[in-house]
Amino acid sequence: MDEILEILEKDGRASVEDIARMIRKKPLDVKKAIKKYEKEGVILKYKAVINKDLIRDSESEVRALIEVNIVPQKDLGFEKIAERIYSFPEVTSCYLISGTYDLLVVVEGKNLHTVSNFVAEKLSCLENVRGTATHFLLKKYKEDGVILKQKPENKRIAISY
């Protein structure tokens, strides 16, 4: 992969000047390369990795990984059914995978009930879906290569009189 892409993948906030200095190129050349990658769709989005455990509130969302068995369509394979599934607004990611299941779908909802309703009422009843296995995320330790630090626990010993 191109050095510019590697740097931006690790730090989307890296400036053109910083990247140019790291790879020993002119800032104008780096800027042109980045614009080209954006235009071609190589760079799709710049993203911040947020430790949501540190900002938990009543609006916190539940995330689930759903393994999906599907019947591929003749002459279309997995593409059409995957497109139908990833079009749902609850779906944040969708991957074709090897192994027992065909797709891995990441879903977010307001609570467990919302996610389970999505599986029961939208996903499982699709014509080409043979079965699902839902796994709710309980805690994240690392995301997108970033270790998520937790709030330090109070290790003081309670004293009572």
Domain ranges of the chain: 3-40, 62-139
Per-residue model confidence (pLDDT) at position 56: 66
Cα–Cα distances in Å, from 115 out to 6, 51, 73, 120? Answer: 35, 21, 26, 9
Placement of tokens 């010993």 in the chain: 157
**CATH assignment of 62-139, given 3.40.50.300, 3.30.70.920, 3.20.20.140, 3.30.1490.190?**
3.30.70.920
Whether the predicted model's global pTM rises above the 0.85 cut:
no
* Cα(24)–Cα(73) distance, integer angstroms: 50
The tens-digit pLDDT sequence of the chain (161 residues) is: 899 999 999 999 999 999 999 999 999 999 999 999 999 999 999 988 888 777 766 566 899 999 999 999 888 889 999 999 999 999 999 999 999 999 999 999 999 999 999 999 999 999 999 999 999 998 888 888 888 876 666 666 767 76
Q: CB of 52 within 8 A of CB of 138? A: no
Per-residue model confidence (pLDDT) at position 67: 98
Q: Provide the token pair at 75.
A: 């002459």
